[in-house]
Chains A and B, each alone.
Chain A
Amino acid sequence: GQQVMQIPQYQHVQEGEDFTTYCNSSTTLSNIQWYKQRPGGHPVFLIQLVKSGEVKKQKRLTFQFGEAKKNSSLHITATQTTDVGTYFCAPLGLLTGGGNKLTFGTGTQLKVEL
C-alpha cells in the first residue's frame, strides 16, 4: 500500500530560524496537499501541488513538489510563534478499481521558542 513518511517528526526552533519538513512517498503521486493543524485545532488546507518540480510560495512559506512526484517539502523562512503547529502532507494516490484515498503523512510538529 501507499506509504508516506514525514521527517522530522518534531522540530524545535528559535524564533527567526528557518524550518523545513519533508514528505516522502514510496509511490508516484498524482498531487499533494499540505495542511496545518494548530494545537487544539483542526487541519486547515494550505496548498496543493500538481506538476512535477512545482514550487509555490505563500509569504514566508515555500512548497515544492519533486521532479519524480514522489516527495515534497515545506520550508518556512524566519519562523514566528504563529507558525506553531503540526504540518501534514496529504499525498493523493489512485486506488486500484477507481476512487481516491486521501491519506495524510505522519506530520511534523513545529515548536517555536522566543
Chain B
Amino acid sequence: DSGVTQTPKHLITATGQRVTLRCSPRSGDLSVYWYQQSLDQGLQFLIQYYNGEERAKGNILERFSAQQFPDLHSELNLSSLELGDSALYFCASSVDGSGGSPLHFGNGTRLTVT
C-alpha cells in the first residue's frame, strides 16, 4: 500500500461529459502529480502541484484542469470527454516538489468514455 488514495477506481461515462478524479496524497507529502496511461502506453505527465500551487505542466489538454486544496488532496477535472480520453489516470505524491524524491503512486482511476 503506497498510502496514496484515488477515487473512484472505475468510471464509465459518455462523450461530452465531465468527470472529476480525486487523489489523497501520502501523509506528509506536499506534492501531487497526475499521469495518464493509455492501453499499453507509457506514462504521460499531465501536471504537478506543490503545497497548493501549480509547479509544472506537462501534456495536459485545455479541456483538463486540476487543483490542489489546502488539505493537500487534489482533483483532476476532465471535460468535453472524447473517446480518446479513455485511459488509466494515476496520481502520485512525493515529499517535495523538486523531483528528487521518489514518487508514490495510487492504484489509479480507469476512465472509459463510450
Question: A interface vs B, CB < 8 Å?
Answer: 30-31, 33, 35, 41-45, 48, 50, 88, 90, 92, 95, 99-107
B70 at the A interface (CB under 8 A): no
Residues 67 to 114 of chain B near chain A (Cβ within 8 Å): 90, 92, 97-100, 102-108
In this complex, what residue of A is CB-closest to B100? A31
Q: Is the CB–CB distance between A103 and B45 below 8 Å?
A: yes
Shortest CB distance A2–B (Å): 11
In the assembled complex, the Cα of A42 lies from the Cα of B105 at a distance in Å of 6
A99-B55, A106-B42, A107-B42 known; A42 vs B106 contact (CB < 8 Å): yes
Q: Is the CB–CB distance between B56 and A42 below 8 Å?
A: no
In the assembled complex, the Cα of A106 lies from the Cα of B108 at a distance in Å of 19
Q: A-B pairs with CB below 8 Å: how many? A: 63
Q: Is the CB–CB distance between A33 and B107 below 8 Å?
A: no
* Chain B residues within 8 Å of chain A by Cβ, number: 23
In the assembled complex, which residues on chain A have CB atoms less than 8 Å from the CB atom of B98? 100
In the assembled complex, which residues on chain A have CB atoms less than 8 Å from the CB atom of B33? 102
In the assembled complex, which residues on chain B have CB atoms less than 8 Å from the CB atom of A99? 48, 55-56, 97
Q: Is the CB–CB distance between A100 and B90 below 8 Å?
A: no
28 contacts between A and B (CB under 8 A): A30-B99, A31-B99, A31-B100, A35-B103, A42-B90, A42-B108, A43-B43, A43-B103, A44-B2, A44-B105, A48-B102, A50-B100, A88-B43, A90-B103, A95-B56, A99-B56, A100-B97, A100-B98, A100-B99, A100-B100, A102-B45, A102-B48, A103-B45, A104-B42, A104-B43, A105-B42, A107-B42, A107-B43
